[in-house]
Amino acid sequence: MIIAWYGHLKFKDVSMWKIILISWLIAFAEYCFMVPANRYGHGQFNVVELKTIQEVINLIVFMAFVVMYMKEEIKWNYLVGFGFIVLAVFFIFKKW
């Protein structure tokens, strides 16, 4: 989804309808993997845990995308914010 949502930012000369079509095709491919993954994972994990796993993976991939594809830097405050998200993961997965 990261490429579908942000990859087009480097191609501002491409018409919007083409960007939307390509983005939907990329998103469709990802959904073909995500839906079965959630189906098979539910039972081992509950829905909140599945969403948390998805978001953490998404953030890791997003940070790599920002640095390698968009050539932008990761600032310290971004890392602090992501650190708080990791702290949220602790609270979600902790068995109280």
Q: Is the dihedral of CA 20, 23, 25, 27 positive or negative?
A: negative
> Residue ranges of the domains in the chain?
2-93
Average pLDDT, the chain: 93
Give the per-residue pLDDT at 5: 87
DSSP string covering 5-19, please? Answer: HHGGGG-TTS-HHHH
**Residue 11: C-alpha distances to residues 1, 18, 22, 40 (Å):** 17, 11, 12, 37
Is the confidence at residue 96, as pLDDT, over 90? no
For 16-61, how does the pLDDT look when each residue is reduced to its tens digit (9 = 90+)?
999 999 999 999 999 999 999 999 999 999 999 999 999 999 999 9
Q: State the Cα angle at 73 between 71 and 75, rounded to 5°.
A: 165
